[in-house]
Amino acid sequence: MSVRAAEGGKHNVLHPGDIVVLPVDLAMAQDSTGPLAIKVIREMGIKKLWDPSRVHLVIDHTYPAADEKVANLHNLIREFVREMGCRLVEGSISHQHLLESHVVPGMILFGADSHTCQGGAVGAFATGVGSSDMAAIWATGKIWAKVPESVNVNLTGKLGKGVFARDIVSHFIGMVGEDGGNYRSIEWKGPAVKTLSISSRACISNNSMECGCKLSVFEVDEATRDYFKKVNRKPLMEVHAGPKANYVKEYTIDLDELQPQVAEPGHVDQVKTVDELEGQHVDQAFIGSSTNGRIEDLVVSAQILKGHHVKPGTRCIVTPASRLVFEEAITTGLAETFLEAGAVFTNATCGACVGTHLGVLGENEICISSSPRNYVGRMGASSAQIYLASPATAAASAIEGKITDPRKYL
């Protein structure tokens, strides 16, 4: 953070708590935050964007429109994009789309979406703000930020069978609590990092939001460099923690010991191991979201579902995170496996995760979900109950209609 902040604020040394004004490289809003930002910038009387090529509007949360009210807000976005000449993407979840097509190491990315912190997976400064702050960025390309304190999470060992990146980050949230990362920058380090794919790191950075963090960062390493060679994008800058880096807290997670994790309904930090909750009845299993809708998530889900059938009376919904993931799931046969198993395979959207369409829960229904939040009313009725788990645990639970240890099917 300090390197790019210094560029913006002309300072060489920054300390936690300092306020800086940052130059923004990319500004993103989506279909549930963009309309309000558009209203705000219009109320300010601002007619021109600072740099339309750096302003991205993504229609993802309720895509395609589920009803007339949503359709009208989508059209407000399309009209704004035409007027301002900025960028429009429809039908991929913003965070996955940005990872596939725009984010690079060292970039300063602000998004009107809390999970924007996913960009830290490839060494970007990436964080979420609201609609009015976003309107100010659209107008000037700059925004204020407070320099965060940093915490260090040391990952050791190796993930066992049936245990995934999602289990690492769920376990961490259980350790530190719902606000354990509030205002902080989380740095993921240690010998196990090199065993994690870029998608796994994206899952961890994305889901770190659930302890309130501002940033969740992996340093650029060989895997990051290989990824950017493959996608043919040039990193802006590699940011590494110096030898004098100060951490307000340090944690260690031994992946050898880690079990599949499940968060109980209501709060993301009520995390248990799968064996403690095995047998809990579920009405729906959801596999998807920006946290866990990548191809590696669908591969393991298909591996579990192959040759089995979703329990009669249970719904299983699989929603990829982007158009690219959707296409790959079709061309590689994953989609066919889902359909054969009796699951529903949808287009890419935030739909079920935010309870807006394609998997909304009714009163008292129980869902196991790979999405990031299990709050009251998150996926529909206030009385519905959401358990959070990895895609593998959700897939195994779909087969049995109850919370199930995925290791049984791997």
Partner 1 sequence: MSNTTTRLPRLLRGRAWVWPDDVNTDIIIPFRFKARTNDPVEMAKYAMYGFDPEFYKKVHKGDIFVAGRNFGGGSSREQAPVAIKYSGVSAVIAESFARIFYRNSFAIGLPALEVPGITKKVSQFDEVEVDMENWAVRTVKDGQVHKATKVPDFLMELVKEGGLVEYYRQHHSFPWEKLEKLPVAR
Residue closer to partner 1, measured from CB, 60 or 405? 60
Q: Are strands 142-146 and 19-23 parallel, antiparallel or unpaired?
A: antiparallel
Binding mask 66-105 for partner 1 (x = CB under 8 A): -x-xx--x--x-----------------------------
Rounded CA gap, 198 and 259, in Å? 21
Tokens coding 231? 């996608």
* Closest CB 50 distance from partner 1, rounded Å: 12
* Closest CB 297 distance from partner 1, rounded Å: 22
Residue closer to partner 1, measured from CB, 147 or 395? 147
Identify the H or E element spanning 284: strand 284-288
Contact between 329 and 320 under an 8 Å Cβ cutoff? The reply is: yes
Residue closer to partner 1, measured from CB, 62 or 200? 62
User: Interaction with partner 1 in 101-120: which residues (CB under 8 A)?
Assistant: 111-114, 116
How many other CB atoms are found less than 10 A from the CB of residue 141?
17
How many other CB atoms are found less than 10 A from the CB of residue 175?
14
Contact between 221 and 189 under an 8 Å Cβ cutoff? The reply is: no
Contact between 118 and 205 under an 8 Å Cβ cutoff? The reply is: yes
Question: Residue from 88, 90, 101, 183 that binds partner 1 (CB under 8 A)?
Answer: 183
Question: Residue from 144, 254, 257, 330 that binds partner 1 (CB under 8 A)?
Answer: 144
Q: Does 20 help bind partner 1 (rule: CB under 8 A)?
A: yes
Question: Residue from 39, 249, 272, 306 that binds partner 1 (CB under 8 A)?
Answer: 39
Q: For the purposes of burial, counting CB atoms within 10 Å of the CB of 79, is it exposed (0-12), middle (13-18) or buried (19 or more)? A: exposed
Question: Residue from 1, 24, 40, 253 that binds partner 1 (CB under 8 A)?
Answer: 40
Q: Which amino acid is at 362?
A: G
Q: Does 33 help bind partner 1 (rule: CB under 8 A)?
A: yes
Identify the H or E element spanning 251: strand 249-254
Residue closer to partner 1, measured from CB, 76 or 324? 76
Q: What angle do CA 172, 176, 179 make, to 5 degrees?
A: 120
Residue 72 phi, psi dihedral angles, 5° rounding: -65, -40
Q: Which 8-state DSSP code applies to residue 128?
A: E
3-state secondary structure of 329: helix
Contact between 288 and 203 under an 8 Å Cβ cutoff? The reply is: no
Rounded CA gap, 193 and 201, in Å? 8
User: Interaction with partner 1 in 287-346: which residues (CB under 8 A)?
Assistant: none
Identify the H or E element spanning 138: helix 131-140
* Closest CB 388 distance from partner 1, rounded Å: 13
Contact between 221 and 196 under an 8 Å Cβ cutoff? The reply is: no
* Closest CB 81 distance from partner 1, rounded Å: 16
Total residues in contact with partner 1, by rule CB under 8 A: 64
* Closest CB 121 distance from partner 1, rounded Å: 18
Q: Does 214 help bind partner 1 (rule: CB under 8 A)?
A: yes
User: Interaction with partner 1 in 347-406: which residues (CB under 8 A)?
Assistant: 354-356, 360, 373, 375-378, 380, 382
Residue closer to partner 1, measured from CB, 54 or 402? 54
Residue closer to partner 1, measured from CB, 135 or 203? 135
Where does this chain bind partner 1 (CB under 8 A)?
A: 9, 11, 14-15, 17-21, 31-33, 35-36, 39-40, 43-46, 61-62, 67, 69-70, 73, 76, 111-114, 116, 128-133, 135-136, 139-140, 142-144, 178-179, 182-183, 210, 212, 214, 267, 354-356, 360, 373, 375-378, 380, 382
